[in-house]
Amino acid sequence: MSGQHVSQIIGILVIIYLTALLGIARYLRIKHKAVWQSLGGPGLTNWFFTSFKLAGYVLFSGAFRQLADRRLTLAIYATRGLVLALVATIVYWKLAY
């Protein structure tokens, strides 16, 4: 596989990750409004200001477990798996090329 193909895969994974974060933000807005508001009301219109709070909640926080929402839990673990795949791809790219 060439370096260009790997960089395209990385780009696709980043787009999927950002889409997943927006999906989680939308789900929080609909089902868990208080959590959504505590994160600053993340969405596409104010993404620059709230994306780090949302990413921290998804990637590093365990607070979502208190909500006992299976769908949210699955979405967060899937997003964490996606980030792991993204990091592994970047490491492979750096070591191979």
Residues spanned by the domain of 9: 3-96
Number of domain units in the chain? 1
Lowest-confidence segment of 2-11, 14-23, 32-41, 78-87 by average pLDDT: 2-11
Closest-CA residue to 76 (of 84, 13, 88, 10):
84
What number of other Cβ atoms are within 10 A of residue 79's Cβ?
A: 20
> pLDDT-derived band of residue 48, with 50, 70 and 90 as boundaries?
confident
Say yes or no to pLDDT of 97 above 90. no
- Percent share of the chain, pLDDT over 70: 99
Q: What is the DSSP letter of 43?
A: S
Distance CA 84, CA 37 (A): 28
